[in-house]
Chain A
Amino acid sequence: MTVAIIDYGSGNLRSAAKAFERAVRDHGLAEDVAVTPDAERVATAEHIVLPGVGAFADCRRGLLALDGMMAALDEAVRLRGRPFLGICVGMQLMATRGLEHGEHPGFDWIAGDVREIPAAPGRPVPHMGWNDLRVASGDHPVLRGIEDGDHAYFVHSYALVCEQPADVLATVDYGRPLAAVVGHGNIIGTQFHPEKSQAIGLKFLANFLSWRP
């Protein structure tokens, strides 16, 4: 069993890989953690993770530059229903469109747009730091043991605005509710960084690895 973390030149994959390794160890799971740019390895992995930091268009460009990766993702995630986790910009890429520095198409796996968070006095942007989750869908297996009021670490200036309320599994309040966890079928995404969210983050990652949608 392998969890493939897609390496497309976006930032800090080491932290994500180390957090998965720790989650595997702490929760007695049997899964190899592979950081890879190889479409073939992604296609055959049991779990697929798309991290991402930086700008929407840059991340998208980096991903498209990997030979055969989009086709591999489409087949593994859309056709064969492999569990997929997008983190931060990796989650935003699942949207219909990203509206950061222009308009850019996303995967359109989750209907919605990625929009700028408006700054206000006392509410600077990026939304940076620890915010408490409001869990909308308590029975989702990946959110098992994660409750209202648990804190996760966020750093983002754009947020995914979902068209379908049912796709929003958890929110945080930052002047308005922002999508913190979105999901649909075998795909799930977090705006927060589970790899930086201490015990709650590791629990989330372990839940994801145990998920058999």
Chain B
Amino acid sequence: MLKARVIPCLDVKDGRVVKGINFVNLRDAGDPVEQARVYDAQGADELCFLDINASHENRGVMLDVVRRTAEQCFMPLTVGGGVRTVDDVRALLLAGADKVSINTAAVQNPDFVREAARKFGSQCIVVAIDARRGTWPSNQTYFEVFTHGGRKATGIDAVDWARRMVEAGAGELLLTSMDRDGTRQGFDIEFTRTIADTVPIPVIASGGVGSLDHLVDGIRDGHATAVLAASIFHYGEFSIAQAKAHLRSAGIAVRD
């Protein structure tokens, strides 16, 4: 059977890892490639790089990181942050990324997702949806899409948006609750499950992981097929292997 995926995410700025771990035997804890190799050896199912200050000027730095990672880690790699054009997608894929994650640019131009999926295939197009909770006067909860790293409200309902992105050709959705991101209180399970139960494509839960139980919640209750976390792995608090052992003990099938 298909296994639930555990995906460590590395925030990369100017080609360096932000909040890097200090594993023993690392020559350079700030080098994303070194960190990627650690996660690879620990049994991560995929890797994710997020370029947090992507700009035209430093694009080449990230491409070099992707290239060097793909030479050494024979596992799936997703890269996000500042992906705005078909040329951006092509350059990342040619450098060795398997999937690219599109966020703000999808909202600014939904046809970009359609065009990228048509050119490169849905399998490599991940649409990242950052959302916050809101409440209607009727007291019903809704989830609103935010862009620009969660700073800018769009007025778009996240469930509608998820459907539209599937229709445009997204192959996977990366869901981040901006209410939970950085809080260590766990995923927003209602948000994750609402979208996962709506779309026919795989969904990755992200934002808010503070314990290994939260990973279990994301799969079991959030109906995600993958869980993504950054800080619990960065700081060496838990290894990927510990995360998987915990999922397994909760009855969730994972890869050894």
Interface: B34 (CB within 8 A): no
Which residue of chain B has its CB nearest to the CB of A89? Answer: B121
**Which of B1, B40, B121, B256 gathers the greatest number of chain A CB atoms within 10 Å?**
B121
Taking a contact as CB atoms under 8 Å apart, the answer to whether A128 and B171 are in contact is yes
How many chain A residues have a CB neighbour from B under 8 Å?
40
Which segment, of A9-17, A65-73, A90-98, A140-148, faces chain B? A9-17
Residues of B within 8 A of A47 (CB): none
Task: Tell me, rounded to whole Å, the shortest Cβ–Cβ distance linking A64 to chain B.
Answer: 18
Q: Which of under 10, 10 to 19, 20 to 34, or 35 or more describes the interface residues of B?
A: 35 or more
Task: Tell me, rounded to whole Å, the shortest Cβ–Cβ distance linking A181 to chain B.
Answer: 17
Q: Known A157-B123, A195-B74; judge A130-B94 contact (CB<8 A).
A: no
Interface: A27 (CB within 8 A): no
Interface: A129 (CB within 8 A): yes
Taking a contact as CB atoms under 8 Å apart, the answer to whether B201 and A126 are in contact is yes
Interface: B212 (CB within 8 A): no
Tally inter-chain residue pairs, CB-CB below 8 A.
Answer: 109
Which residues 90-107 of B sit at the A interface, judged by CB distance below 8 A?
93-98
Interface: A107 (CB within 8 A): no
A177 to B29, alpha carbons, bound, how many Å?
43
Q: Per DSSP, are chain B's interface residues mostly helix, strand or loop, or mixed? A: loop
Taking a contact as CB atoms under 8 Å apart, the answer to whether A53 and B123 are in contact is yes
Contact residue among A15, A121, A132, A151 (Cβ-Cβ distance under 8 Å from B74): A15
Task: Tell me, rounded to whole Å, the shortest Cβ–Cβ distance linking A34 to chain B.
Answer: 17
Residues of B within 8 A of A202 (CB): 74
Task: Tell me, rounded to whole Å, the shortest Cβ–Cβ distance linking A196 to chain B.
Answer: 5
Taking a contact as CB atoms under 8 Å apart, the answer to whether A15 and B70 are in contact is yes
Taking a contact as CB atoms under 8 Å apart, the answer to whether A151 and B3 are in contact is yes
